[in-house]
Amino acid sequence: MIQDKIVPAAEVDPIHYDRGIFFGDGVYEVMRSYDGKLFALDEHLRRFANSLSAIEITGLDIDEIRVRVLKAFDAAGIANAKIYFHVTRGSAPRDRGWDDNLKPNFFLNLSEVADNTEDRTKGIAVSTHPDWRWKRCDIKSLNLLANVLATTDAARKGCGEAILVDEAGLITEGAGSAFFAIRGQTLQTAPLTANILPSITREFTLKAAGNVGLQIVEESLTVEQAACADELMIASTTQDTVAVVKFDGKPVADGKPGKYAKLIAEEFRLFTA
């Protein structure tokens, strides 16, 4: 049955048997363009290849994925585009095990990047949430239910992002972003482990921070340390870098984007030119 309609099994579109639907058995990537130029394409494709390898999806040529991305981007004609694509293991009757002969399913969607000028100018509020995700967040998996629940909880509190906290009380990252604290002349963020996505935007943010004179410390933060930081920031593909001006209902410093958040944002933009 599909919705309220009985459909003979032989007539069901194979997409309804996609293992991505049954199990979240797939990986995805999100990238963007600036003024008609794709940003960090090689880095995103490299990470996508690593994700595919980690969950043992084979039979795909990354160079062919590149061709598909470029073809879709050229056809869309969107100067500032968000490009989402995923690969699932394929379609088959529901069974946790898989047949090595399955043909992977590919999907790509382009849309215009939402204007977040107000967030970048004024900063955003964030709230903490327990990190309920699985233990391989370094893989960009389709399993995002924990992220969805955390993001929804933050939105209901009037916040623009959820900051995830593990069982030890340490901040891992945002539900859809990397998270940073600036304390004095130091920018601190969690180190890359199995619990942290190797974010492309994180990588460029760290470069930008170094370029403006900050020392980089990759060490996990407690909630208490974040709450008393001089500045807080998030970074993601579709938002670039954004200052956090309220953390769990309390202002960060004077409640306005700080000096370094502004400098890092300016430096980051140079990478995208």
Q: Is 136 inside a domain boundary?
A: yes
pTM of the predicted structure, to 2 decimals: 0.95
Mapping DSSP to helix (H, G, I), strand (E, B) and coil, where does residue 139 land? Answer: coil
Task: Domain of residue 254: give its range.
Answer: 117-272
Question: Domain count of the chain?
Answer: 2
Domain boundary among 112, 142, 159: 112
User: Per residue in 186-206, pLDDT tens?
Assistant: 999 999 999 999 999 999 999
In this structure, the answer to whether residues 13 and 73 fall within a common structural domain is yes
Task: Give the distance, in angstroms, between the CA of residue 228 and the centroid of all CA atoms in the same chain.
Answer: 26
In this structure, the answer to whether residues 91 and 133 fall within a common structural domain is no
Q: What is the mean pLDDT of residues 241-270?
A: 98
Domain boundary among 92, 112, 132: 112
pLDDT at 119: 95
For residue 82, give the CATH number of its domain.
3.30.470.10
In terms of Cα–Cα distance, which of 239, 233, 244 is closest to 272?
Answer: 239
In this structure, the answer to whether residues 178 and 101 fall within a common structural domain is no
pLDDT at 180: 99
In this structure, the answer to whether residues 32 and 130 fall within a common structural domain is no
Q: Is 131 inside a domain boundary?
A: yes
In this structure, the answer to whether residues 146 and 186 fall within a common structural domain is yes
In this structure, the answer to whether residues 46 and 142 fall within a common structural domain is no
Q: Is 2 inside a domain boundary?
A: no
In this structure, the answer to whether residues 98 and 194 fall within a common structural domain is no
Q: What is the mean pLDDT of the chain?
A: 97
Q: What is the mean pLDDT of residues 225-240?
A: 98
Q: Is 4 inside a domain boundary?
A: no
User: Per residue in 39-77, pLDDT tens?
Assistant: 999 999 999 999 999 999 998 999 999 999 999 999 999
Q: Is 3 inside a domain boundary?
A: no
Q: Give ∠ CA 149-132-15 in degrees, rounded to 5.
A: 60
pLDDT at 248: 98
Q: What is the mean pLDDT of residues 86-101?
A: 95
Q: Which residues are catalytic?
A: 140
In this structure, the answer to whether residues 96 and 65 fall within a common structural domain is yes
Q: Report the alpha-carbon distance of residue 230 to residue 212 in Å, rounded.
A: 16
In this structure, the answer to whether residues 54 and 78 fall within a common structural domain is yes
Q: Is 17 inside a domain boundary?
A: yes
User: Per residue in 106-116, pLDDT tens?
Assistant: 999 999 999 88
Domain boundary among 112, 131, 152: 112
- The answer to whether residues 17 and 93 touch, using CB atoms and an 8 Å cutoff, is yes
In this structure, the answer to whether residues 228 and 128 fall within a common structural domain is yes
In this structure, the answer to whether residues 104 and 126 fall within a common structural domain is no
In this structure, the answer to whether residues 138 and 266 fall within a common structural domain is yes
pLDDT at 79: 98
Q: What is the mean pLDDT of residues 232-247?
A: 98
pLDDT at 189: 99
